Structure 1
Amino acid sequence: MIFFLLLALSVSSGVCDVLYKEAGKEVILQCGAPPNSDIEWRLNNIRLISITGKSGLRRKGSGHSVDKVNLYGDTLKIPRLEPRDSGVYSCAQSGKQYTLHVVSVFVKPGPVLIQSSDVELHCNIEGDPNTEVEWLRPPNDQVHDAKHQKINLKSVTSSDEGKWTCKVEDLKLSVTLTVVANHQINNVEVSERDDIELPCFLPRPVSQSVLGGKWKADHLPTVPFPTLKNTADEGLHWDGVNSSVVKYNIERISTIFNVTLKKVQSIFAGKFVCEVEFEHGGKLTAVTNLTVKSWTDRNDGKTGKNSKPGLAGEIFRKSMFGVELWIWIAVGAFSVVLVPLIIGIVCMQQKNKQKKRRVRKLRSMRQPLTAKDYCQCNRSDREVVLCQRERPLPAPRQQRNLRTAGLNHAYEHA
């Protein structure tokens, strides 16, 4: 009797608990109905889930939360809270009501920021945008003047870095800001004719997207430095063409914006500036002071780092038509050796040609070969008569017969 009296009193008085819960967590709501009774939970007066006490039959209603809620007896459990889970939850049997507000804290554009950029801190209370909150700022949780759910920080500095806390009733949610320095100073030394990489980078990825950037050197106005561009098709990349002086990465860029100077000359010594612009006002500036060590200083072990080069070194380092004097001297010395060699080769070729012409001329002046007097037509009649052999007189027939008979007789005995 006392339980039903209290239940009727709570329903008549319309008591409704207000809950503030962090997004991503879970919440448990109690109905308070008698055991084995029918239970029905509603969200904004729309049936969410119900159970029949005697049979244990469950029925799901409608809404985005029906697939993840669980009902254990009269207890409703809602895991993985989202802002859209906010609303009024009511148990029909007991009349118990809960007004749930899902709270989330976030930063726009993100928690990692370039120094001097702007940022927005949000403590979003879903379903109750007018409720004031309390902000606690770093380093020692000092109370911030602003009470709104959204506060704007202009030109953040290292003093803004740290944990920012939003306090709503007994709920505290925090977010940590990281501020990256926007100014770098580097001192680099390189020897003449060597390559050197000029540094310009972020120690970690930042939340802001890059809008553009460039390298520049006021003392080298003709050097073709590239520019940064960010397009939907190619992303963040250098726009330009690699030259004999400057080399850079042709692929996509994230946090490293270095470029390389090739075959450094003494006239390259000076200040190089890298500028990278981000959204929301952030800007990175990297200054590199380049010192070029002369060729004489590098090869002379007795010459100190800060010592002055000799007169010969100063003369050789002077430039003529944009090229150092020692290069012109080397070209001249090479020409002194090469020109006589070419002249000697040409003279040898001319002599060979003259020799060949002389040989052909001598061959053309020889008398043609004549037939020797081997034919009898050119001999005299006396030589012909002498050369003729006298024919012997024929033997008598009787001698020829005796000779033939002798031969036959010899043949038969054989």
Structure 2
Amino acid sequence: MAICKILFFLLALCIWCGKCDVFYKQVGDEVSMKCGVDSNSNIEWKFNGVLILTIDGRRGTRRKGPSHIVLKAIASGDILKVPRLETRDSGNYFCRQSGKEHIVHIVSVFVKPGPVLVQSSDAELHCDITGDPNKEVQWLRPNGQKYNEKNRVIHLKSVTSNEAGQWTCLVKDDLKLSVTLTVVGLQTTAVNASKGDDIELPCSLPQRVFQRVVGGKWKADPLKEVSFPTLTNTPSKGLHWNGKDLSKVNFTTGQLSTIFDVTLKNVQSSDEGTFVCTVEFEGGVRLSVETTLRVVDKPSGGKGSTKRKGKPNAVMESLTKEVYGLKLWIWIAVGASSVLLIGLIIMIGVVIRRNKRMKKRVRKLRSMRQPLTDKDYCQCNRAEKEVELEEQARPLPVPRQHRNTRTRTAGPNHTN
């Protein structure tokens, strides 16, 4: 507390002297601080008295200090930037050459125990400003109206759906941080069944809440002698139903999360009435919800209403069970998609390899073909015997001088 007072006194002093800039930033933002000297001058930056880095203006060399800020700080000229602000980055940034200080406060908004709450539970809204304990803030309700108190922590008692919505912490005109508060309750519906059916009595939360479920039970006015199971939360088994009598009521034996249904066996007209589901949360908060069961005669020649057995309920409960932060059905879907993708890749590889083999085979067959010869081109693929017969049938040409001699010898009066 004494340290906070000293910091507040130094802050007031440096603001009064005019050598101090004050920044209010939220987690993840970036802050930019100016030293106010010539960029060619030597510059030394410190954070809460611990050296960040020194810059030699003439040589441009830098020497890093032991402060954790140096791991992400960006220095350009006389400007120092610190990105991705965290709560531990809140404090005093000092440039020795100009004597100028920069006070950085990190603002964060959150809900305790969490933003998703059950009805009638208590909640705390925090607007935390690191390093500035006396700063007043203004809270705005989900409907935009101002909250009466200007405290950084406000307490909400027995929350209802009226408190659900976006709450805003107004630190400055240009800095507004919001958090959404969700208020949920148990859900159920009226149930109609035919005589002899197994019917499911619904009781569930719309989503997971931050309050831990520590117990619960079912109660039925018309079935006071029936032994219903009770909710139990143990370190070894987690949240589960605890019961042994399955003659009239069936329930899942697996770990529960947000579904607290049970199955009523072989319903009769005497089972009609109101059934009450009660769930107890950590902190003494209890929620109850009523469902009405109406039993009718089976229509003649039909099978009556659709039965909802305990087994599908157990399957649904298993599929909605969370494994490493995700529901089981999501893991199953991702696994099936991965198998399908791998099979498709293998099929594509097989087709590509098959096409390559076929192309190689075609090239090999083309290279093995008999090339055409000159004889084939000239004789038009005729047989050699036909060509020889034509050559024999054709008479040999007579020399010109022999033809002239025959002409003179065989005149008109020539006789043999």
User: TM-score when scaled to structure 1?
Assistant: 0.66
Amino acid at match of 2:300: N
Gaps of 5+ in 1: 1-9, 302-414
After superposition, residues 265-276 of structure 1 pair within 5 angstroms as 265-276=268-279
Q: Structure 1 residues 205 and 81 mapped into 2: Cα distance closer, same or farther (>3 Å)?
A: same
Amino acid at match of 1:299: S
1:294 Cα offset (Å): 2.7
1:231 Cα offset (Å): 2.2
1:118 and 2:119 matched = no
1:32 and 2:33 matched = no
Q: Deviations over 1:51-72 (max 9, x none)?
A: 2222222222123332122222
**Any conservation in 1 of the 2:138–2:146 contact (CA below 8 Å)?**
yes
1:244 and 2:255 matched = no
Corresponding residue number in structure 2 for 1:299 = 300
Amino acid at match of 1:212: G
Q: Deviations over 1:176-232 (max 9, x none)?
A: 1112135x4532111111111100011122222212111111321222211112222
Rounded to whole Å, the distance in 2 between the matches of 1:32 and 1:242 is: 80
**Any conservation in 1 of the 2:214–2:280 contact (CA below 8 Å)?**
yes
Choose 269-278 or 221-230, whichever is displaced more: 221-230
After superposition, residues 13-412 of structure 1 pair within 5 angstroms as 13=17, 15-139=19-143, 141-170=144-173, 171-182=175-186, 184=187, 186-241=189-244, 243-295=246-298, 298-299=299-300
Amino acid at match of 2:107: V
**How many aligned positions are there?**
288
Rounded to whole Å, the distance in 2 between the matches of 1:69 and 1:127 is: 20
1:300 Cα offset (Å): 7.4
Q: Structure 1 residues 41 and 242 mapped into 2: Cα distance closer, same or farther (>3 Å)?
A: farther
Rounded to whole Å, the distance in 2 between the matches of 1:255 and 1:100 is: 43
**Any conservation in 1 of the 2:273–2:292 contact (CA below 8 Å)?**
yes
**Any conservation in 1 of the 2:188–2:204 contact (CA below 8 Å)?**
no
Rounded to whole Å, the distance in 1 between the matches of 2:85 and 2:243 is: 49
SS at match of 2:217: strand
Rounded to whole Å, the distance in 1 between the matches of 2:73 and 2:228 is: 60
Rounded to whole Å, the distance in 2 between the matches of 1:15 and 1:289 is: 72
| Runs of at least 4 residues off by over 6 Å | none
Once superposed, what is the RMSD of the aligned Cα atoms? Answer: 2.1
1:93 Cα offset (Å): 1.4
1:262 Cα offset (Å): 1.6
Q: Structure 1 residues 16 and 281 mapped into 2: Cα distance closer, same or farther (>3 Å)?
A: farther
Whichever of the two has the greater Rg, that structure is: 1
**Any conservation in 2 of the 1:105–1:175 contact (CA below 8 Å)?**
yes
Q: Deviations over 1:257-286 (max 9, x none)?
A: 111112222222111111112234543322
Identity %: 57
1:12 Cα offset (Å): 11
SS at match of 1:186: coil
Amino acid at match of 1:186: T
User: TM-score when scaled to structure 2?
Assistant: 0.65
